[in-house]
Chain A
Amino acid sequence: MQWETVIGLEIHAQLATKSKIFSGASTAYGAEPNTQACAVDLGLPGTLPVLNEQAVRFAVKFGLAIGAHIAPYSVFARKNYFYPDLPKGYQTSQFDKPIVGLGQIDIVVDGEIKTIGVTRAHLEEDAGKSLHEDYQGMTGVDLNRAGTPLLEIVSEPDMRSSAEAVAYVKKLHTLVQYLGICDGNMQEGSFRCDVNVSVRPMGQEEFGTRAEIKNLNSFRFIEKAIAHEVERQIDVIESGGKVVQETRLYDSNKDETRSMRSKEEANDYRYFPCPDLLPVEITSELLDDMRDSLPELPAAKKQRFQQQYGLNEYDSDVLTTQRAMANFYEDAVNFADAESKLVANWVMGELSAGLNQHSLTISTSPVSAERLGGLVKRIADQTISGKIAKKVFEFMWGSESSADEIIEREGLMQISDTGELEKIIDQLMADNEAQVEQFRAGKTKVLGFFVGSIMKQTQGKANPQEVNKLLQEKLKE
């Protein structure tokens, strides 16, 4: 039988606020356990939540970016369950009146554009962390993360393959970073993903029973977990069984999903409106303010890069995936006096390779956009060749010097002076009469020998076009 996969995603994006959603404790990552957990985060009796304005603004910004309806009034609700890293016994979340309503996002898979519906996005608080090892049979609880603002973004079950799911996640990952509302750090858990997967016979209208795979924190894991889960469900059905609605965990070491111990009374969260928080009003002032603050979004930027800089689709895509990368590129083009294609090659080639090799990002690049632009400028005006430029780039990586300073100091200026080159060529021909004869006898391949010798002698500084031209002329005399 032919099976169709149906996927819906829930993404938790930690909002990049300084303080928590309901308290003034810091949200900075990596602090000593419980040093950023105040009385409110600990759920001590008598404490009350006060909502962080920035969290609200970030949620609105996201909603506007996906063309969603922003609720003029949204309501916080309590989701009740017991777990040691949730001290209050409930998570303050939103239920039937979320801040962001129906929106949409376009993804591209195999060159085809597909629109994925975003059902809703709501504000909620993160829980703390439980550590189950090394405490003499006890569980250790760190509440630093408790109360960190999250935006939970829920998609429609619109995706039909793991490739579509990954494209959607990547799109959102790029978007939240563009908007500056989430740092997107997946290792630190700032951007995590739960996947709902089901299968149904091709052509069937009705959805199959779904399983939820929790807490996937890399694009690769998402892809693998879905592939595995689809296979498992088809196996279950084809061998006469039934898929059970449950939560599963993906084990990246074994590359399999396994059932979490089925919670009794699962999903009986008994949501009710939180009496400690009043409805949140989004005024038209705030809406306008956020609308004005929207940056150029990735899709628009990509299109502009193609038009303004004459880049192809692939290059534009790579350069606009990160906002910092796009800014770096545009700055470098400015400093290089146009030469947009050449700058693109250097940013995506030499620079990116260097950053990868040293595990750096574009924001921590040792070579600034100004210095890279200055280098490309000198390639373009033929002061140096592309080959020498790589050498200059290496010097730049380890210093603060500009391309011009390095070219000057290291004497790397290209030799284009015809007189000087002629002198070198004449000497070379006098020293290698045999090769000259060979060339004149029709063995034009020895031209490479001459070019190589000249480059060696000038340490690569001879202008290659000029050398070729002069050699051809002189050898044919």
Chain B
Amino acid sequence: MSIQSEDVLKIAHLARLGIQDEQVESYASDLTNIMGLVEQMNQVDTTGIEPMAHPLDQVQRLRPDVVSEKNQREALQKNAPDIQDGLFLVPRVIE
């Protein structure tokens, strides 16, 4: 499977990654190589093998339903570029 420039641009946009025009082609070729590897793995006969949802063959440990976190708003908002009335402020997302 070959990844084209427009695929790279679409994926970059979906992931909100800013990439330079001159990088597009090398990304396309790198991604095509990765897809080649995937294609190679797809050749392996996996008939009768149940797919795993996770590489670790274990199940999820569960946590008891207890409130264990205290309010740390002040500390957590220290790195925020802008706050007001306890809210994080971000560029406006709708008109």
Contacts and interface: CB of A to CB of B under 8 A. Distances in A.
Interface string A1-42: 000000000000000011100011110000011111111001
B49 interface: no
A80 B73 CA distance: 26
Contact of B59 (A131, A143, A279): A279
Contacts of B10: 265
Nearest to B95: A261
A268 B94 CA distance: 20
Contacts of A141: 87-90
A275 interface: yes
Given A52-B62, A278-B56, A35 B71 contact: yes
A42 B71 CA distance: 13
B67 A138 contact: no
A17 B91 CA distance: 33
B40 to A, nearest CB: 20
Given A39-B76, A265-B13, A268-B14, A140 B93 contact: no
Interface in A256-310: 261, 265, 268, 270, 273, 275, 277-281
Interface in B54-84: 54, 56, 58-69, 71-73, 76-77, 82, 84
Interface centre among B65, B76, B82, B86 (most CB of A within 10 A): B65
A160 interface: no
Contact of B72 (A32, A38, A51, A261): A38
Nearest to A273: B53
| Majority DSSP secondary structure for residues of A touching B | loop
Nearest to A83: B93
B62 A56 contact: yes
A23 B90 contact: no
A139 interface: yes
B85 interface: yes
B92 A139 contact: yes
A278 B16 contact: no
Contact of A37 (B54, B60, B76): B76
How many B residues are at the interface, by size bracket? 35 or more
A477 interface: no
A131 B54 CA distance: 37
Contact of A24 (B66, B93, B94): B66
A53 interface: yes
A251 to B, nearest CB: 15
Interface residues of A, number: 54
Contact of B60 (A35, A51, A83): A51
A132 B90 CA distance: 10
Contacts of A52: 62-63, 65
B65 A18 contact: yes
Contact of A33 (B82, B85, B94): B85
Contacts of A277: 54, 60
A278 B65 contact: no
A130 interface: yes
B92 A54 contact: no
A19 B67 contact: yes
Nearest to B64: A53
Contacts of A39: 72, 76
Given A51-B63, A138-B82, A270-B14, A132 B56 contact: no
A97 B51 CA distance: 12
Contacts of A24: 63, 66-69
Interface string A115-140: 00000000000000011100101111
A387 to B, nearest CB: 51
Contacts of A131: 87
Contact of A279 (B14, B54, B64): B54
Contacts of A26: 67, 69
A84 interface: yes
B19 to A, nearest CB: 16
Contact of B90 (A50, A138, A268): A138
Contacts of A53: 62-65
Contact of B65 (A19, A42, A268): A19
Q: Which 3 A-B pairs have the closest CB atoms?
A: A24-B68, A140-B87, A54-B65
9 contacts: A25-B69, A33-B85, A33-B87, A42-B76, A84-B93, A132-B92, A135-B89, A139-B91, A140-B87
Given A53-B64, A277-B60, 19 more contacts: A24-B66, A33-B87, A34-B88, A52-B65, A53-B65, A73-B59, A84-B88, A131-B87, A135-B89, A138-B84, A138-B91, A140-B85, A140-B89, A143-B88, A273-B53, A273-B54, A275-B54, A277-B54, A278-B58
